[in-house]
């Protein structure tokens, strides 16, 4: 990445140029459109939407106006107490305030002025429900279903949902429905039939596409935003990668891009917003910045997020922050799938544990997923390797719950697994044999399981306090007593699945101020340059306060950046 001086010769001129096409990028362009400015999004790959389209589509928005609909009371003071407690001094206060003030305004704005529609998730607790100001639900919101027909020819150009968010890799469910299905809450069978029926009985559409048109989660969010851009005639250029920033008299005035193999110069009169995602798919940057060991294959994120925007910012003197951090979670690498899947629910349900290669637990498995990977790295030493760790469970767990791409054995027994998944689990009739197959210390594993089985009976985990918080229990099984996150591991065969320190994307990047301006090494804004989403250092610091804490800020700072560049 380099910069070029602005010597004219522009191929295209707009008011606001947005690099990337995730939720933050699209939000910024919607606002520019509403303010009468011309905007253009450029996207490196042949599909728009990035990680945002692959995601759960949730936004974490304290004091959002939907809280009342689910009977939750929230206040700016409580939100402030919670966010300052969880971010623990890592983020300047004016950025935190900008987030808390603007995020609820953004949600209301989009619901009133665009195609975006959200609902609050009443039971999705903040990730640290015992911290001051935490709420047991309601701050996380998700998009309503969105009909893909409204996108016309633009639908096939949207990046697919990560298959882990779909039933049998193809049928959409909302975040709310996912919990009912995966934790086998009351009504889960009826709901499964309803969603599968809706998919298969959608006859005319079935002749057109394998993709479900009742979009949910990230596809619904990006669909709503893309349709809102269509309403405003804002173009999205695919196969167009930003390669250089153009600087004139110290101000970023445009971008040199590669479009369908041709270099073009795009001028941006009011500013350039970098929204091109993190560096999860650059092995070189992972090795340079993240804790080791690390592999791009362990990421659930978009293959095209290779840190381009971070390098563009560096080329004009930008400062970086939080580069050693990511939206961590333990992941499983599934043969034949392009992205890893995160073990969010599997690790929390009763009857599975995570162990290191000595066979010892190292964390509360039901804790927020970033905490699990932070513990994995903390515990990983040459004497006690923890990468990979193993998710260990028994036949009862296997029968009741899905795990990675595999449905519960009551619906997909081992003999019915496709060839590619036959060796996906390590499996044995005794714990000792299982340990030998996985390269785990047999005595260690036996002792750990014996202890966990006692905890399952008492309902108390004195080692790691699993199941003690509302967040732990969100992905528990309420029918399992006395602790919905603990069940004995005792019925053969026993299973082990490798778990890696993966993520949903990285979170370190260009340092920005409360208006999303990119800052230089002296803390001064670089004129004409903004950054939002995972190419900017997160406003959440090293914390993950609740579901939606990455997309909420990406969109909110997209909103802030566009309003700054195009004042009303």
Q: Which two tokens mark 103?
A: 């995020």
Q: How far apart are CA 184 and CA 479, in angstroms?
A: 9
Question: Is 43 or 321 the residue whose CB approaches ligand FAD more closely?
Answer: 43
Among 469, 512, 534, 543, binds ligand FAD (CB under 6 A): 534
Tell me the H-state helices in 114-187.
175-182
Q: How far apart are CA 432 and CA 435, in angstroms?
A: 5
Is residue 546 a contact point for ligand FAD (CB under 6 A)? no
Sole window of 36-44, 184-192, 284-292, 517-525 interacting with ligand FAD (rule: CB under 6 A): 36-44
Count, residues near ligand FAD per rule CB under 6 A = 44
Q: What is the 3-state secondary structure (H, E, C) of 540-558?
A: CCCCCCCCCCCHHHHHHHH
Q: How far apart are CA 497 and CA 423, in angstroms?
A: 10
Question: Is 388 or 505 the residue whose CB approaches ligand FAD more closely?
Answer: 505
Among 302, 364, 512, 543, binds ligand FAD (CB under 6 A): 302
Sole window of 32-40, 125-133, 383-391, 547-555 interacting with ligand FAD (rule: CB under 6 A): 547-555
DSSP 3-state of 316 = coil
Q: Is 416 exposed, middle or buried (CB count within 10 Å of its CB: 0-12, 13-18, 19+)?
A: exposed
- Dmax (CA) for the chain in angstroms is 74
Among 54, 167, 499, 519, binds ligand FAD (CB under 6 A): 54
DSSP 3-state of 123 = coil
Question: Is 273 or 496 the residue whose CB approaches ligand FAD more closely?
Answer: 273
Is residue 52 a contact point for ligand FAD (CB under 6 A)? yes
Tell me the H-state helices in 55-201.
76-87, 93-113, 175-182, 188-200
Give the nearest distance from C-beta 58 to ligand FAD in angstroms: 3
Question: Is 181 or 355 the residue whose CB approaches ligand FAD more closely?
Answer: 181
CB atoms within 10 A of CB 335: 12
Give the nearest distance from C-beta 381 to ligand FAD in angstroms: 29
Length of the chain: 568
User: Nearest CA to 229 among 109, 114, 117?
Assistant: 114
Is residue 104 a contact point for ligand FAD (CB under 6 A)? no
Sole window of 85-93, 207-215, 296-304, 406-414 interacting with ligand FAD (rule: CB under 6 A): 296-304
Q: How far apart are CA 546 and CA 60, in angstroms?
A: 6
Q: Is 367 exposed, middle or buried (CB count within 10 Å of its CB: 0-12, 13-18, 19+)?
A: buried
Interface mask (CB under 6 A) for ligand FAD, residues 4-33, using x and -?
---------------xxxxxxx--------
Please give the residues from 448 up to 507 whose contact with ligand FAD meets the rule CB under 6 A.
Answer: 504-505
Is residue 325 a contact point for ligand FAD (CB under 6 A)? no
Question: Is 348 or 483 the residue whose CB approaches ligand FAD more closely?
Answer: 348
**Interacting residues with ligand FAD (CB under 6 A):** 19-25, 42-45, 50-52, 54-58, 162, 164, 241-242, 275-277, 300-302, 304-305, 308, 327, 504-505, 533-534, 547-552, 554
């Amino acid at each position: 990445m380099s910069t070029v001086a602005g010597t004219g010769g522009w191929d295209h001129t707009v008011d606001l140029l947005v690099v990337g096409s995730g939720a933050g990028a699209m939000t910024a362009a919607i606002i520019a459109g509403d303010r009468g400015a011309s905007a253009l999004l450029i996207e490196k790959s042949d599909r728009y939407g990035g990680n945002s389209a692959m995601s759960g589509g949730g936004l974490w928005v304290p004091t959002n106006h939907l809280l009342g609909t689910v009977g939750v009371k929230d206040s700016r003071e409580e939100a402030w107490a919670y966010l300052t407690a969880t971010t623990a001094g890592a983020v300047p206060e004016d950025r935190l305030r900008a987030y808390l003030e603007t995020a609820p305004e953004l949600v209301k704005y989009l619901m009133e002025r665009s195609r975006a529609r959200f609902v609050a998730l009443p039971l999705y607790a903040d990730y640290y429900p015992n911290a001051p100001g935490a709420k047991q639900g309601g701050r996380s919101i998700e998009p309503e279903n969105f009909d893909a027909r409204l996108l016309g020819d633009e639908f096939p150009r949207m990046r697919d949902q990560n298959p882990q968010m779909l039933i049998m890799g193809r049928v959409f469910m909302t975040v709310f429905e996912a919990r009912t299905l995966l934790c086998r809450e009351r009504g889960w069978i009826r709901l499964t039939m309803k969603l599968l029926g809706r998919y298969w009985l959608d006859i005319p559409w079935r002749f057109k596409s394998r993709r479900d048109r009742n979009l949910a989660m990230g596809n619904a969010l990006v669909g709503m935003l893309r349709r809102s851009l269509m309403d405003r005639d804002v173009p999205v250029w695919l196969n167009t990668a930003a390669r250089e920033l153009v600087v004139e008299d110290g101000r970023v005035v445009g971008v040199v891009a590669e479009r369908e193999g041709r270099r073009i110069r795009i001028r941006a009169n009011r500013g350039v917003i970098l929204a091109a995602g993190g560096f999860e798919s650059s092995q070189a940057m992972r090795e340079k910045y993240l804790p080791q060991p690390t592999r791009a294959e362990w990421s659930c994120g978009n293959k095209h997020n290779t840190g381009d925007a971070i390098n563009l910012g560096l080329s004009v003197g930008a400062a970086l922050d939080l580069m050693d951090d990511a939206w961590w979670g333990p992941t499983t690498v599934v043969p034949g799938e392009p992205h890893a899947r995160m073990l969010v629910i599997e690790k929390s349900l009763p009857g599975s544990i995570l162990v290191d290669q000595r066979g010892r637990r190292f964390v509360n498995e039901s804790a927020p997923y970033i905490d699990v990977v932070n513990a994995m790295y903390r515990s990983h030493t040459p004497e006690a390797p923890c990468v990979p760790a193993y998710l260990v469970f028994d036949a009862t767990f296997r029968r009741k719950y899905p795990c990675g791409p595999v449905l519960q054995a009551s619906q997909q027994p081992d003999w019915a697994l496709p060839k590619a998944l036959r060796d996906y689990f390590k499996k044995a009739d005794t714990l000792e044999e299982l340990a030998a197959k996985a390269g785990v210390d047999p005595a260690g594993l036996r002792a750990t399981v014996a202890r966990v089985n006692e905890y399952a009976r008492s309902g108390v985990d004195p080692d790691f306090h699993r199941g003690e918080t509302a967040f732990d229990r969100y992905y528990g099984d309420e029918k399992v007593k006395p602790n919905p996150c603990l069940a004995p591991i005792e019925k053969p065969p026993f299973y082990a699945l490798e778990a890696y320190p993966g993520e949903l994307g990285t979170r370190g990047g260009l340092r920005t101020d409360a208006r999303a301006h990119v800052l230089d090494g002296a803390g001064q804004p670089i004129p004409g340059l903004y950054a939002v989403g995972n190419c900017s250092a997160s406003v959440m610091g090293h914390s993950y306060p609740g579901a939606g804490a990455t997309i909420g800020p990406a969109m909110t700072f997209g909103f802030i950046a566009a309003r700054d560049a195009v004042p009303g």
